[in-house]
């Protein structure tokens, strides 16, 4: 029986490496660890030990004129694109995948990128393949949480999500570039039924997590701000915040957002390398505990106010496995023929929350759900 070939762009990186490691236990797969740094890819593969999947290494640069031809020679059935940041990317990788009859899954966190993926719907249907964008925590897992809890409400009015990684866990260069790109910058957010202007890394909020402590979070621009209101038109408020565990880092970035919003800086991107180096210098401080929290407000079936708070706590530095898991789950489903149909969509309604949590079994993760009927909090 022919091996199912899965090519992972950036397959030795923070998230790509975790995708490869998770899929490497399946002997039905051939995994192609691809990227611009062949030496780094080879070292990563050597460190995998004795995987049950076949592993290949390929040198690929998505910006090279030869990319399309090289991709065709590798004959993947699925292309998983982890090579962010996606904020300034076009759809070249997905288009090249469709041209050779491959599915494409990406971990994009760029709002415009994910929201615009529907432009590839017609070619994806013609090729009878899937293009899935945002197969990560946002919107992948976030949307699965909302879908799982929506039946508890007669009316769902708001979804507020926050993510705070542990400071001692690994961090990605592309993720940092994505954050710095919108710090202090204006963007649209749905609040109390109206589209309003928010600014990146402002509107501070403190969140408390049992057995973890207090974390601060600030507004961030993510695809969910468009994806969730489109999927659930009844929503009046959709918010997303992220936070850094070390307060010196979190509030330092907040001060930077003020400098961008009100001057004199146009962007924090020119300071990316020194800021990343500083964060690496402080990496031995804090904890290895990451948190994702989704708070849904609305009306229960008794007509009264209802608040559900879903929390996922990741320990032992396992937090980065969360954004890697949606792609792993989708790749398995496509390979087994469990995800039928075709087209290009954001990562929503393609797997259940139970399926996602089952894929995380074996990692130091714990999910919990809290229910409140006597309060009805609103985003501010």
The full set of domain ranges for the chain reads 4-136+322-359, 138-319+361-372
All residue ranges of the chain with pLDDT < 70 are 1-2, 374-380
Confidence (pLDDT) at 2: 58
DSSP 8-state code for residue 3: P
Tens digits of per-residue pLDDT, 244-283?
999 999 999 999 999 999 989 999 999 999 999 999 999 9
Confidence (pLDDT) at 274: 95
Confidence (pLDDT) at 84: 79
| CA distance to 18, 23, 197, 217, 254, per residue, from 208 (Å) | 29, 34, 27, 11, 19
Distance of CA 351 to the CA centre of its chain: 15
**How far is 77 from 335, CA to CA, in rounded Å?**
9
Tell me phi and psi for residue 238, to 5 degrees. Answer: -135, 120
pTM: 0.94
Any residues with CB less than 8 A from the CB of 132 and at least 6 apart, and which?
Answer: 103, 104, 105, 106, 330, 344, 345, 346, 347, 350
**Is it true that domain 4-136+322-359 has CATH number 3.40.50.720?**
yes
Confidence (pLDDT) at 88: 80
Confidence (pLDDT) at 378: 46
Give the pair of three-digit tokens for residue 264. Answer: 């004199």
Closest-CA residue to 32 (of 102, 69, 80): 80
Specify the residue for token string 């090289």: 70
Fold held by 138-319+361-372: Dihydrodipicolinate Reductase; domain 2 (3.30.360)
The per-type count for the chain, helices as H runs and strands as E runs, is 13, 16
Tens digits of per-residue pLDDT, 16-41?
999 999 999 999 999 999 999 999 99
Half-sphere exposure in the Cβ direction for 250 (13 Å, CA)? 25
Interhelix angle 142-149/224-231, rounded to 10 degrees, is: 30
Tens digits of per-residue pLDDT, 27-84?
999 999 999 999 999 999 999 989 999 999 999 999 999 999 999 999 999 999 998 7
Confidence (pLDDT) at 375: 55
């Amino acid at each position: 029986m022919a091996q199912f070939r899965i090519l992972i762009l950036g397959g030795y990186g923070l998230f790509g490496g975790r995708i490869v490691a998770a899929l490497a236990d399946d002997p039905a797969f051939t995994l192609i660890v691809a990227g611009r740094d062949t030496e780094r890819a080879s070292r990563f593969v050597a460190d995998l030990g004795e995987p049950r999947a076949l592993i290949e290494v390929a040198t690929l640069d998505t910006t090279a004129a030869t990319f399309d031809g090289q991709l065709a020679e590798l004959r993947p059935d699925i292309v998983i694109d982890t090579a962010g940041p996606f904020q300034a990317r076009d759809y070249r990788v997905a288009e090249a995948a469709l041209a050779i009859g491959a599915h494409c899954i990406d971990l994009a966190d760029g709002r415009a990128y994910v929201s615009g993926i529907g432009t590839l719907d017609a070619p994806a249907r013609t090729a009878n393949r899937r293009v899935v964008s945002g197969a990560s925590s946002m919107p992948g897992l976030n949307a699965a949480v909302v879908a799982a809890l929506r039946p508890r409400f007669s009316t769902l009015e708001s979804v507020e999500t926050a993510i705070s990684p542990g400071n001692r866990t690994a961090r990605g260069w592309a993720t940092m570039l994505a954050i710095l790109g919108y710090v202090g910058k204006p963007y649209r957010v749905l609040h109390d039924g109206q589209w309003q202007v928010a600014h990146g890394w402002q509107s501070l909020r403190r969140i408390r997590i049992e057995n973890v402590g207090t974390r601060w979070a600030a507004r961030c621009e993510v695809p969910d701000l468009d994806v969730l209101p489109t999927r659930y038109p009844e929503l009046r408020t959709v918010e997303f915040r992220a936070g850094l565990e070390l307060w010196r880092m979190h509030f330092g970035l907040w001060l930077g957002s003020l400098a961008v919003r009100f001057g004199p800086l146009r962007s924090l991107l020119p300071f990316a390398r020194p800021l990343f180096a500083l964060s690496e210098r402080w990496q031995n401080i804090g904890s290895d505990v990451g948190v994702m929290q989704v708070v849904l407000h609305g009306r229960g079936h008794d007509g009264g106010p209802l608040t559900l708070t879903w929390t996922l706590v990741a320990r032992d530095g396992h937090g980065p496995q969360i954004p890697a898991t949606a792609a792993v789950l989708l790749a398995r489903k496509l390979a087994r023929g469990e995800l039928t149909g075709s087209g290009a969509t954001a990562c929503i309604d393609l797997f259940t929350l139970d399926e996602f949590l089952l894929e995380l079994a074996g990692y130091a993760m714990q999910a919990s759900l809290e229910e409140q009927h006597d309060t009805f909090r609103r985003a501010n």
